[in-house]
Structure 1
């Protein structure tokens, strides 16, 4: 019984999903549907006719004749019974039928009801085409056939309306919604058999940006149309072509395909690598090809598309532009997606997020000159999550703003708490590139400082060099406002990203942190020694104070100190620690550990 109930619930949810996918509920009246209800009313001599869609708790009328209301409660509505039967559902007298005595229709004086169910090709009942009368009557065989035929015409109109939303305007190809439906159909026709999904990304992001600047917005459309035309001409009846993204085409190789899928992939890829004419200019696509083999009745259509997308993303990063679907990569993507979904709760739930603090020391004296605040997340199910598993993804979303505010608010509260204990310690926090796109970022940071009652001089903001170099005017204006208020500005991970050093002359920054990749092998790499020494000299000439990140050995410590590097940070001096542990670490005994 429990299994039956669960199946009933699942089937009803699937039916409601099918109804919602058609986007018919609560839409404006349509003359194409109204013609059919008028015809039903005329042919069956009924004063009222409706196209009624069965929602979760209501019957909503997409079209109606002879009635002013647009919906009625689903409970006790005859349409709910009609969609459970393949035949015509007739009630000669609602007021005499125990199922409907007291129903809204019976109370309104309706006596007769006849409804023909509206079924999708997948077998989901959407609602009915029905006629009602205030007289007790029957419906003969001819009338039943008329109602059945008219219901078929209604479904044809629904499918036509749905098809309009299942093709792409640029290429005219079926879109991903049509692909989902085709995969479902194949799963019913070929249970247990496999299909191959191919994804072709014709244009890299970089080529798209450059091409649109030079050739205009029609650049990518011309490439995709050209690629689609080539594929369409070279696919047989056993493979289907779809346009599933601005620059992405998909091919579904069905079980009827009798050839070698790998040979097909390579032949299609070769077709797409040839130059395509874009407004008379030949352009060679930057092609990436991903493939995914899957069993039709074991994988949902959306999961099939997701695997194809994962494969083509891997292909874009590979040397040869090809990649098969990787379950391992998919698990990492799924985990990243789950973490992003859970991060909102982490921001709102006390105890999941915290800041640890890693000391920075003055290399000449060994004294602690400040700390860097480092975000830590203890997930309620996964436990501690490494920062590199979630911070890069979070910074690419709208969570970047509340994340930075959370970190700033927490760090400022810690600054105030330490000052109350007689500890004046500058705290550095990392700020994402996306924050600098916020026009009121500086204003909000200064307001957070004011509310916390903290000294602005005790706060340092770290930006990566790629962040501060990408939008000069806006960046400089915001950084200058914060520096004028007393906040220290630092350039983090210097040497790992941007290559044009001219921005160093314009930025109101005073700290330059050399990336740890140049420090890690400093003892053995003469090349790194030359680079780091040169960076320190250049930074001094430009007025920057230099911090070396990732110091793990005494020899490295001594080298960078001898070159004039002012501060250092790394495991040799101290690992990141909680605020309470740091307070103990700050004792004179600990400060003398590195001298």
Structure 2
């Protein structure tokens, strides 16, 4: 086969017209052709390697015929209008068309801007016929309309520029067309993700957008090789692909696993790609029952499960999807919770000084009573909210309400510091310090009456602007605490650079402290090093008298946990604090728990 023919076929494949569902935009042209020529048959015929495939057709049931002795094949070869007045009186007398009863043929070439002929716009009849010059011109105009439609599909965002593959919009259109042609038919959508989508922004920052394009281009060729030339592959998002499959469920999974294996061999510029972790998620779908955008969401959910479970490939799980749906639902509902007067509230858990046994601080903990779901754990909704623009609003809500309560206690004469949890992202807000100081000033509360808690990883990962804000707050007298210490970077060396006053040892180190000598050795080293560097130490999650005694012997400064009390409402906390017995030596009664 000549190089020009290979180039022509390559362009035809890249346009992704072959083996696609019927499209009204092309069908409209073939109906017009049949009407203008007063002929029963019209088609947009694309010339493949060994067949003529009809992208659109009127008056014929089959979708393709052999290329051998096909009139449209000769149009593609010669790139010129071909008219056969009577097939039986020509060398096409033994062709597939003639044998099926066709006597008349006229076709005009479908030519791309760079000169490749894709096939023909043709009209056919069952009786011999002549063609006028005017009709030749009309046929050429119809062919131009077909090519304009091809160009329009690309111009209106149907193709992903970096790979030349049909994109998300094309996927939606094709799935809708399939649903009209084959309603309720079973298909499998295989979604392929080259990298963890949660890391894609970081990857683009580090490697640049050109790297993602190169990775997608290389992967697209690998997917094409794995699936074959007839498969239609869609580039539906950054480093995300999709295609449709039919067959047995077990066979589909085998194909998904094999596709994933082939992607592990992808290279970019001769090297193994950075952060390449391909997964393939399979979502079964009945055509017409599920919207195309929902289909891709199901495939993405399957990809997420495959990644989380480290299986590489897997089927969509309804139970997993329900969990993801709950997360998105909570994010959507949280904005309303921020505006509501009765959904969010703060609970306060005491921190007790181990020397005096008195409560010296209270950590403000947000609680969410959802109107339909009920109580939502902070461990569930806070990480979700912190990855949205609502992180600022959440922290503002906590600061306003906690500072208002701290001011009330302060003006009552309670010697108490209130600790506020803030997100790492808040420190990137240029006006964070100003807002905090404004809330304190409006309530007449001194800066020493509050403490800010940030996680270890949050403190370390912040940039220079955040570091400057922390240092300014410390200079003004605001206490800074490292929360959940030991669970992030797990290196005491970082204590030399983190701007903070307090280290809070995570509860995971305290659980079973009295039973495990290695835990005692580790906690002892944490406390000693923190003290050497000038930090005070708080142990979280203290639930037993034995753990308290071990921490006391190790020199821990303060403790917090159920041994002292569960989190209180503000009213309950005030009553507990003012009671004659609220020291570390007293176990809380049942009235103390929420």
Q: Is TM > 0.5 for Structure 1 vs Structure 2?
A: yes
Matched, 1:425 2:416: yes
Q: Which residue of 2 aligns with 1:235?
A: 227
Range 213-222 or range 439-448, more displaced: 213-222
**CA distance, structure 1, for counterparts of residue 246 and residue 230 of structure 2:** 6
Aligned pairs, number = 447
* Corresponding residue for residue 558 of structure 1: 549
Match of 1:181 among 152, 173, 185: 173
C-alpha displacement of 1:250? 1.4
- TM-score, normalised with respect to structure 2: 0.70
* 1:22-77, Cα deviation, whole Å (9 max, x unpaired): xxxxxxxxxxxxxxxxxxxxxxxxxxxxxxxxxxxxxxxxxxxxxxxxxxxxxxxx
Secondary structure, aligned partner of 1:286: coil
- 1:220 aligned residue: 212
Distance 2:317 2:185 in 1: 20
Aligned partner of 1:325 in structure 2 is 316
Q: Distance in 1 between matches of 2:150 and 2:385?
A: 40
8 A Cα contact 2:505 2:538, kept in partner: yes
Judged with a 3 Å threshold, the aligned counterparts in structure 2 of structure 1 residues 467 and 282 are, in CA distance, closer, same or farther, namely closer
* Corresponding residue SS for 1:304: helix
Which of 506, 514, 524 is matched with 1:523 structurally? 514
Aligned CA distance change for structure 1 residues 581 and 215 (closer, same or farther; 3 Å)? closer
- 1:166 and 2:162 matched: no
In structure 2, C-alpha distance between the alignment counterparts of 1:209 and 1:304, rounded to whole Å: 24
Among 538, 542, 554, the alignment partner of 2:533 is 542
- What residue is the counterpart of 1:139 in the other structure? none
Moved more, 462-471 or 322-331: 322-331
Aligned to 1:415: 406
**Residue in 1 that maps onto 2:245:** 253
**Of residues 333, 345, 349 in structure 2, which corresponds to 1:358?**
349
Relative to structure 1, is the Cα distance of residues 328 and 586 closer, same or farther in structure 2, using a 3 angstrom cutoff?
A: same
In structure 2, what is the equivalent of residue 385 of structure 1?
376
- The Cα shift of 1:213 comes to 7.5
Number of the residue aligned with 1:396: 387
Q: In the superposition, relative to structure 1, how do residues 338 and 214 fare at CA in structure 2: closer, same or farther (>3 Å)?
A: closer
Structure 1 position 526, deviation (Å): 2.1
Instruction: Name the residue aligned to 1:109.
Output: none
Select the residue among 265, 268, 273 that pairs with 1:283: 273
Deviates more, 1:303-312 or 1:375-384: 375-384
SS in 1 for 2:498: coil
SS at match of 2:243: strand
Q: Conserved in 1, the CA contact under 8 Å of 2:351 and 2:363?
A: yes
Give secondary structure in 1 for the equivalent of 2:365: strand
Q: Deviations over 1:285-311 (max 9, x none)?
A: 322221111222221111111111111
When normalised by structure 1's length, the TM-score is 0.70
Long gaps (5+) in structure 1: 1-149
State the match for 2:43 in structure 1.
Answer: none
Residue 314 of structure 1, CA deviation: 1.9
- The alpha-carbon deviation at position 415 of structure 1 amounts to 1.0
| Offset at residue 239 of structure 1 (A) | 4.1
Map of 2:430 onto structure 1: 439
1:200 Cα shift?
1.6
Conserved? CA contact 2:194–2:277, under 8 Å: yes
After TM superposition, list the pairs within 5 Å mapping 1:324-343 onto structure 2: 324-343=315-334
Match of 2:182 in 1: 190
Q: Which residue of 1 aligns with 2:483?
A: 492
1:591 aligns to what? Answer: 582
After TM superposition, the structure 1 stretch with the greater mean CA deviation from structure 2, 237-246 or 226-235, is 237-246
CA, structure 1 residues 403+207, in 2 after alignment: closer, same or farther (shift >3 Å)? closer
**Is the Cα contact below 8 Å between 2:253 and 2:282 reproduced in 1?**
no
The residue matched to 2:161 in structure 1 has which SS?
coil
- 2:340 aligned partner: 349
Shift of 1:561: 1.2
CA distance in structure 1 between the aligned counterparts of 2:224 and 2:582, rounded to whole angstroms: 71
Q: Which residue of 2 aligns with 1:367?
A: 358
Partner of 1:509: 500
Aligned-pair CA distance for 1:529: 1.4
1:203 is matched with 195
Does 1:449 find its partner at 2:440?
Answer: yes
Is the contact made by 1:373 and 1:411 (CA closer than 8 Å) also made in structure 2?
Answer: yes
- Tell me how far 1:472 sits from its aligned partner: 4.9
Judge conservation of contact 2:168–2:235 (CA < 8 Å) in 1.
yes
Give the whole-Å Cα distance in 2 for the aligned partners of 1:327 and 1:207: 25
Q: What is the CA distance between 1:499 and its match in structure 2? A: 3.5
Task: After TM superposition, give the deviation of residue 436 of structure 1 in Å.
Answer: 1.5
The Cα shift of 1:318 comes to 2.3
CA distance in 2, matches of 1:207, 1:354: 33
For 1:190-247, what per-residue CA distance to the aligned partner results, in whole angstroms no more than 9, with x for missing partners? 2222111112221346986887688654222222111111222333577431111211
Q: Paired residue for 2:58?
A: none
Separation (CA, whole Å) in 2 of partners of 1:205 and 1:187: 29
CA contact (8 A) 2:540 2:561 kept: yes
Evaluate the alpha carbon distance shift between residue 158 and residue 575 of structure 1 in structure 2; reply closer, same or farther with a 3 A threshold.
farther
Contact 1:203 1:220 in 2 (8 A): no
Q: How far 1:523 moved relative to its partner?
A: 2.2
2:515 alignment partner, SS class: coil
Distance 1:212 1:376 in 2: 36
In the TM superposition, what are the counterparts of 1:19-168 in structure 2 within 5 Å? 160-164=151-155, 165-168=157-160
2-structure distance, mates of 1:396, 1:402: 12
Equivalent residue in structure 2 for 1:567, among 535, 558, 574: 558
Q: Residues 192 and 216 from structure 1, CA distance in 2 versus in 1: closer, same or farther, beyond 3 angstroms? A: closer
Q: Cα deviation per residue 1:506-547 (whole Å; 9 max; x = unaligned)?
A: 333111000111111212222221111110010000011000
Kept in 1: contact 2:257–2:312 (CA 8 A): no
Aligned twin of 2:457: 466
